[in-house]
Amino acid sequence: SIGAAGDELGLNLYVVGGFVRDLLLQRTVDDIDIVVEGDGIAFARYVAEKLNCRVNTHKKFGTAVVIVSEQIKVDVASARLEYYDFPAALPIVEKSSIKRDLARRDFTINTLALSLNADTFGTLIDYFGATRDLKDKTIRTIHNLSFVEDPTRIFRAIKFANRFGFDIGKVTANLIRNAIKVDCFKNLSGLRVLSELKQIFSEEDPIPAIRSMTDYGLEKVIHPRLEITPATYQILESANKTLTWHDLLYVQETYPRWAVYFMVLLHRCTFKVSEQICDRLMIPVGERQLLLETRYKAENRLGFIESNHPVSRQKLYWALINFNTVFVLYMMALTKNEAVRRDISNFYTQFRHVTPKIRGKDLIRIGVTPGPAFTKILNEVRNAKLDGHLDTREKEMD
Ligand code: ATP
């Protein structure tokens, strides 16, 4: 029905970019990006009205998001190349503006478009050799100044190569090296680098991408004193295993995967260098506190558990209960002690859930005055349960 809306308004419509690429690679697709040759915002409003759904518009960029449902959001962009025949004439929208739109993209594999209009429905448009490069499994830029124009594309090239198991083309790899040599990152906002790093660290297995980053010396772009050594890779591998273990058990639970990998990279840095990396990447205050202070707390806590091992369940519970998933997984990735790892995993899967069955009202009933005594009693009951003494509500009441 979106295609029909294009015909009704007399506009050319295309689904473009990642959607078409993933379709040809037979991968699951999530985002749908549409380009309209004309006013994308007016088109999006028209579709939203027809489908009776919400639409968000960004006038400045000529873009809109049609929120079809919680799962389906359609991004709409305007490809409009206006020129005027003579001053004050009505603008004429050039027909091939889709080509100009696609030419602004990062890599050939992202330049495909599929027509959505009825008479040309499903026609694949490939101006830049995208199908060839998908077949060759190669990441290639469209032009030679691509990385100088936008250095974040260097991270994107590595991300896509890693995700699809593609190679970065020879010329493109040289362009990356040259762009790094001329210090193209000097004026790049830390926020944009951070956003790309988060995307790489959120991939299923980011390790090959991290290797590729270090092959190009990109870690030095983040901070000259950031070292990624064989020991770092060992912890990264361990993080991979830990996260896979977690995600198989807790399919529904989401947490910032990227943060675990990022903390592993910061692990060997001094506090000062970690702080400077956070500054460089413009990491917001809340996340910064987690990556610096809370990470140190977690590392110290792990050190305590390792040096006191074996520790009772009670001790383990109170040592870990205030750390959320990301830090528990980080500790599991970090430890080289198998028994400690097993204990932490047992904490996570089993006894972090241990809570007294009795409640405050039960205590009032037996004559305890509400106040600090409550917490003390309930914690003692919890401790006894952790040690396996109390398995029924009646025993707790005793
Ligand atoms: P993903 O599956 O990671 O979302 P995607 O290809 O959809 O992959 P997005 O980051 O959502 O990637 O970008 C959407 C489209 O915008 C891409 O297909 C790409 O063509 C274009 N694009 C994104 N970032 C850039 C950039 N820095 N330079 C040029 N084009 C870009």
The count of C-alpha atoms lying within 13 angstroms of the C-alpha of 217, restricted to the half-sphere facing its C-beta, is 11
86 versus 53: the higher-pLDDT residue is 53
pLDDT in tens, 257-283: 999 999 999 999 999 999 999 999 999
- Residue holding tokens 């419509």? 13
| 82 three-class SS | strand
310 CA to middle of ligand 1, Å? 49
CA of 327 relative to ligand 1 center, distance in Å:
31
Burial of 181: CB neighbours in 10 Å, binned 0-12, 13-18, 19+: exposed
Q: Where are the alpha helices (DSSP H) in 267-392?
A: 271-280, 285-289, 295-308, 313-320, 325-334, 338-349, 360-365, 372-386
What DSSP element (H or E) covers 99? helix 97-103
Closest atom of ligand 1 to CA, residue 22 = 2
Backbone angles phi, psi at 56, to 5 degrees: -110, 135
Q: What is the pTM of this model?
A: 0.87
Q: Which value does ipTM take for this structure?
A: 0.96
- Token pair for 350: 């089993």
Task: Compute, in angstroms, the gap from residue 111 CA to the centroid of ligand 1.
Answer: 10
For the Cβ of 149 lying below 6 angstroms from any atom of ligand 1, the answer is no
pLDDT, mean of residues 187-195: 91
Distance 249 CA to ligand 1 centre (A): 31
Mean pLDDT of 301-325: 93
Contact 199, 170 (CB under 8 A): no
CB atoms within 10 A of CB 120: 14
Instruction: Grade residue 60 by pLDDT with cuts at 50, 70 and 90.
Output: confident
Q: Whose CA is nearest to atom 13 of ligand 1?
A: 18
Among 222, 103, 205, 201, smallest CA distance to 151 is for: 222
Is the CB of residue 150 below 6 angstroms from any atom belonging to ligand 1? yes
Q: Does the Cβ of 106 fall within 6 Å of ligand 1?
A: yes
CA-CA distance, 193 to 197, in Å (whole number)? Answer: 6
| The token pair that represents 221 in the structure block | 């772009």
> Where do we find the tokens 């020879």?
170
Nearest CA to ligand 1 atom 28: 106
For 169, phi and psi rounded to 5 degrees?
-55, 155
Strands, E assignment, the chain: 12-16, 32-37, 54-58, 63-67, 73-79, 82-83, 92-93, 113-115, 124-125, 138-139, 167-168
Query: If we measure between CA atoms, which residue out of 67, 39, 41, 63 comes closest to residue 52?
Result: 67
Give the confidence band of 108 by pLDDT, cuts at 50, 70, 90.
very high
Query: How far apart are the CA of 378 and the centre of ligand 1, in A?
Result: 53
Q: For residue 67, what are the β-bridge partners?
A: 54, 73
Average the pLDDT over each of 154-163, 279-288, 308-317, 368-377 and give the range with the smallest value. 368-377
DSSP conformational letter for 173:
H
Contact in structure between 149 and 135 (CB atoms under 8 Å): no
Residue 141 Cβ contacting ligand 1 at under 6 Å: no
User: Ligand 1: which residue has its CA nearest to atom 7?
Assistant: 18
- What is the per-residue DSSP string for 369-391? PSSHHHHHHHHHHHHHHHTT---
Of the candidate ranges 33-47, 59-73, 164-178, the one whose mean pLDDT is the lowest: 59-73
Residues 194-205 have pLDDT tens digits of 999 999 999 999
Residue 76, strand partner residues? 34, 64
Tokens of 43: 């088109």
Given the CA of residue 159, which atom of ligand 1 is nearest to it?
3
Query: Measuring from atom 5 of ligand 1, which residue has the nearest CA?
Result: 18
Q: Report how far Cα 224 is from the mean position of its chain's Cα atoms.
A: 25
Q: Which of 76, 102, 106 to mutate to test the pocket of ligand 1 (most atoms within 8 A of CB)?
A: 106
Quote the mean pLDDT of the chain: 89
Q: Can you give the pLDDT at residue 371?
A: 75
User: Does residue 112 surpass a pLDDT of 70?
Assistant: yes
Percentage of residues of the chain with pLDDT beyond 90: 71
Which range has the worst mean pLDDT, 128-142, 240-254, 260-274, 351-365? 351-365
Looking at residue 345, its pLDDT comes to 95
- Cα-based angle 370, 372, 376 (whole degrees, multiple of 5): 110
Is the per-residue pLDDT at 94 higher than 80? no
Query: Which residues touch 293 (CB under 8 Å, ≥6 apart)?
Result: none
- String of b and e for 223-239 (b: at least 16 CB within 10 Å)? beebebeeebeebbebb
**Which residues lie below 8 Å from residue 374, measured CB to CB, with a gap of 6+?**
360, 363, 368
- Asked which of 72-76, 115-119, 314-318, 369-373 is least confident by mean pLDDT, the reply is 369-373
Burial class (CB in 10 A: 0-12, 13-18, 19+), 245: middle
Q: Does 90 score more than 80 pLDDT?
A: no
